[in-house]
Copies of this chain bind each other. A is one copy, B any other.
Amino acid sequence: MDQSEQSAPPAQTVPVQATPVPKGAVPAQKGTVTQRAIEQIKAMIGEGLLEPGQRLPTERDLATQLGISRSSMREAIRALTVLGVLEARHGSGIYVTQLEAGDLLETFGVVADLSRGPRLVELLEVRRVLESTATALAAARITPDQLADVEKHLAAMNATDDPEEILSHDLAFHRAIALAAGNDTMAAILEGLSSRTFRARVWRGYQEEGAFERTRREHARIHRALVARDPEAARAAAAAHVGEVEDWLRGQLEG
């Protein structure tokens, strides 16, 4: 193709340069073509040229506009898709996501899934900090409806012995609290830090040591603090709750 801009030795051929790049002055060839396309689309969104939910031109058109091949453009789109910025609907088109916390922070789960060893402890440390804050905020702001939701999962968790179901309601319990805290971004991060595979990996060993009962007690304490609308008690209870797992895991790593 015409991407052979600096052909030095065999200085002929040169079929049709054409170069659809009007802006002379330093083409600024930085990084790969695909990388540039990613940045450009991101910039378009950043500058407000592309609104959330809006549909983009077709892959073919986009590729033409940026002067690259469809293949490269597809890679760029794929990249932005996994980042939660774009959404491709087969047969329909490519759309900008709502760019909400949940969309963009979904990739956070990957971190949790691929981390192991010491980093798991670090992640739990981050979770402890955020979870305790979120629980404290929830204690101050939670509405009756939201509290009912929390209690629903608390009850369901205590009503079964199936580990899988317990884990499921455990996650929902904390998720409901995080949502009640009123900071969607924080909730989304916590969601990632509690991703299913992450919890499952740690939980497997943790609950083998009869931690069920303790978990229930800790959850009950968190719940009491929410009912009492006592942020400080809620913060302490949540911190202790996560701290328990944290300590256990830390002990596991040391042997």
Residues of chain A at the chain B interface (Cβ within 8 Å): 34, 38, 42, 45-46, 71, 74-75, 78-79, 81-83, 85, 99-101, 104-105, 107-108, 110-111, 113-115, 119, 122-123, 125-126, 129-130, 133, 183-186, 189, 197
Contacts and interface: CB of A to CB of B under 8 A. Distances in A.
Contacts of A105: 111
Contacts of A100: 119
A83 B104 contact: no
B183 A114 contact: no
B82 A122 contact: no
Contact of A101 (B79, B85, B119): B119
Contact of A110 (B83, B113, B185): B83
Contact of A126 (B46, B83, B85, B186): B186
B82 A82 contact: yes
A3 to B, nearest CB: 12
Given A78-B34, A85-B114, A129 B133 contact: yes
A207 to B, nearest CB: 21
The main secondary structure of chain A at its interface with chain B is helix
A114 B104 contact: yes
B115 A111 contact: no
B129 A110 contact: no
A184 B122 contact: yes
A80 B144 CA distance: 42
Given A78-B79, A83-B107, A107-B107, A99 B126 contact: no
A180 to B, nearest CB: 15
A107 B80 CA distance: 11
Contact of A183 (B34, B125, B197): B125
A45 B110 CA distance: 11
Given A107-B107, A122-B184, 8 more contacts: A42-B113, A46-B113, A74-B75, A79-B79, A82-B82, A85-B110, A115-B185, A129-B129
A183 B122 contact: yes
Given A83-B82, A122-B184, A185-B122, A42 B129 contact: no
A166 to B, nearest CB: 23
